[in-house]
Amino acid sequence: MLQTACHAWHVQQDARMVDFAGWEMPIQYSTITEEHHAVRRAAGLFDIAHMGRIEFTGVEAAAFLDSIVTNNVAAIEVGQIRYALVTNEAGGILDDVLVYRLDDSYLLVVNASNRLKILDWIEQHRGGFDVTVEDRTTEKFMFALQGPRAIEILNPLIEDCDIAEIGYYRSAVVNFGGEPGLLSRTGYTGEDGFEIICATTSGAALWNQVIEAGANHGLLPAGLGCRDTLRLEAAMPLYGHELDETTDPYTAGLAFGVKLDAADFIGKPAVAEKKAEANRKRRVGLQLEGRRIAREGAIVFSGEQEIGQVTSGTFSPTLETSIAMAYVSANHAAAGTTVEIDIRGKRHAATVAKLPFYKRG
């Protein structure tokens, strides 16, 4: 099983470790709820080195990326980051990714569970392009500082810039504790914050610097457990739940990541057809009465009519109510619509809610 640069630190902290896409990762250190609240109220530090990092160089790097992702890579400015999808010929989502434009290369950050699949997809389709592709995942470490106090914790550690001036979905090469690092104002929690990429050999030292800097600011190490509750409150889709190879970007509610008027990408005709399909299913939020959790696969009903299926569900620590995301038929997708969810053979009342459930002030 693969291990990140901070594996020994996690074990020393008695973190609960799990196999996640072939990596041994911390699911929690204390409780999911405590770590969740720390991120919403102060800050949480996440080891996300299991995410794939693939670098593209060469004169046709942008052209190649434009042929496999749904966004307009050619239009990305140096220092800018864009969300995109990799789709198959039928318009289904192979992965959702971030595309970084660096000074002389592009970086694709992919989901850990899809890294090998995407690398294989790249190899299948890069013939004819003058592009060099290198998987940097194991030689680079990646971690995320998320929460309202992220700037005041991290800024003193960055020697050559004021990180408050870095815009959302922008990146900068910085001097971090004497080591070079790529800092981006991105995240997967619904809070302000940063993701940092550095050499694996520097990862543990830089992680410890942030832990020490945040000790008096309410910072807690945070595991993948609360990362899931946080992203669900923020209505961020998760591959394998809201996204898969049978779901297209428009059904998933990710139109902002698709540029049909830009380059031709694999699956573009099928994606365009889905855009024009008025009665496609919709990704919606559901708020349940009581504390019962609607898990993935639970069937959603309107009367005796089966209208959809839950993709993710949890008890929201912030809102103190049970929430879920689901795909439902278009005529039942309006906020305020009352439905029922089958949880272990018993129907539970729920209301379609406007997404996201939580948005920072």
HSE-CB for 129 with a 13 A CA cutoff: 22
Could you state, in order of their start, the residue ranges of all structural domains in the chain?
Answer: 7-49+138-233, 52-135, 281-353
Whether pLDDT at 179 is above 90: no
**What's the pLDDT tens digit per position in 259-290?**
999 999 999 999 999 999 989 999 999 999 88
Find the helix or strand (DSSP H, E) in which 7 lies. helix 7-12
7-49+138-233 and 281-353 agree in CATH topology: no
Whether pLDDT at 106 is above 90: yes
- For 281-353, CATH gives 2.40.30.110
* AA letter at 271: V
Bridge-based pairing of strands 305-316 and 282-288 is unpaired
Find the helix or strand (DSSP H, E) in which 92 lies. none
| Other beta carbons less than 10 A from residue 144's beta carbon | 23
Q: Which CATH class is domain 52-135?
A: alpha beta
Bridge-based pairing of strands 43-47 and 219-221 is parallel
- Please give the Cα distance from 171 to 77 (Å, whole number): 11
- Please give the Cα distance from 170 to 236 (Å, whole number): 19
- Closest to 147 in 3D by CA, of 41, 31, 34, 33: 41
Domain at 7-49+138-233, CATH homologous superfamily = Probable tRNA modification gtpase trme; domain 1 (3.30.1360.120)
**What's the pLDDT tens digit per position in 206-252?**
999 999 999 999 999 999 999 999 999 999 999 999 999 999 999 99
- Please give the Cα distance from 180 to 199 (Å, whole number): 8
Classify 209 as helix, strand or coil: helix
pLDDT of residue 177: 82
Whether pLDDT at 178 is above 90: no
Whether pLDDT at 307 is above 90: yes
**What's the pLDDT tens digit per position in 52-71?**
999 999 999 999 999 999 99
pLDDT of residue 7: 98
Both tokens assigned to 254: 């990710």
Strands (E), the chain: 16-20, 23-28, 43-47, 52-57, 81-87, 93-101, 106-110, 132-135, 140-146, 171-176, 179-184, 193-199, 219-221, 282-288, 299-302, 305-316, 321-328, 338-343, 346-353
Please state the rounded mean pLDDT for residues 304-317.
98
Whether pLDDT at 15 is above 90: yes
Please state the rounded mean pLDDT for residues 313-333.
98
pLDDT of residue 333: 98
pLDDT above 90 covers what percent of the chain? 97
Q: What is the pTM of this model?
A: 0.97
CA distances from 309 to 290, 313, 326, 329, 335 (A): 19, 11, 5, 10, 17
The more confident residue out of 159 and 283 is 283
- Closest to 300 in 3D by CA, of 278, 274, 281: 281
- Please give the Cα distance from 163 to 146 (Å, whole number): 13
- DSSP secondary structure, 308-350, as one string: EEEEEEEEETTTTEEEEEEEE-GGG-STT-EEEEEETTEEEEE
| Helix ranges, 49-92 (H) | 61-68
